[in-house]
Chain A
Amino acid sequence: NTKITQSPRYLILGRANKSLECEQHLGHNAMYWYKQSAEKPPELMFLYNLKQLIRNETVPSRFIPECPDSSKLLLHISAVDPEDSAVYFCASSSGNSDYTFGSGTRLLVI
């Protein structure tokens, strides 16, 4: 899926700081971060519309989103916790019926 790219694909961390990156090439106005833990559905973490943070779910403060421009999305993680091990999906949409997801970043906290 080259329409929306995420990096890195895999990430293994101790208690460190790291940033996840996402870029979409679809011209979409809204971008999202989802977290999918094992055996759970994707859960919305953050939503940006036209670079403005519209909705911020109750996630730990060690997760900080950033949207440098309308096609890019970052997720800064500081002092990760084992409960943060999950797949983090970036998604984008234009309107309410055209969602595209990235391939995800698999984070393992050791």
Chain B
Amino acid sequence: GDSVTQTEGQVTVSESKSLIINCTYSTTSIAYPNLFWYVRYPGEGLQLLLKVITAGQKGSSRGFEATYNKETTSFHLQKASVQESDSAVYYCALGVNNYAQGLTFGLGTRVSVFP
């Protein structure tokens, strides 16, 4: 089956510092999957942060960016300078070309930004 691995369960970072959240994926599909980052702020629902559907491309949103690397099967999320408002849980997710399977999520990374 498909799987998504996020190695960091929790990350604490100072405001204005850089952030990297690691994500690697595995799929049994012969087609390259679509990759997503979702974010869940405290007390809110699940929001799409960014997506990339073409291998080799980079997605960006709200200062975050992630590059779809098919060689290393990775989709790491980065931000150069975080703000306290970025405190949230971030989920890496995978969707295969057959959309009927829905999305497979990683375990999530809780990011805490302190001033």
Whether both chains belong to one complex is answered with yes
Please report whether the interface of chain A is mostly helix, strand, loop or mixed according to DSSP: strand
Of the four ranges (under 10, 10 to 19, 20 to 34, 35 or more), the interface on chain B belongs to 20 to 34
> Looking at the complex, which one of B46, B47, B53, B100 makes contact with A49 (CB distance below 8 Å)?
B100
B48, A96: Cβ atoms closer than 8 Å:
no
A residues in contact with B107, CB < 8 Å:
40-41
Which of B44, B91, B95 has the largest count of A CB atoms less than 10 A from its CB?
B95
Number of interface residues of A (CB under 8 A): 27
A101, B47: Cβ atoms closer than 8 Å:
yes
B residues in contact with A47, CB < 8 Å:
100-102
Across the interface, name the chain B residue whose C-beta is closest to A48: B100
A-binding residues in B (CB < 8 A): 34, 36, 38, 44-48, 51, 53, 91, 95-103, 105-108
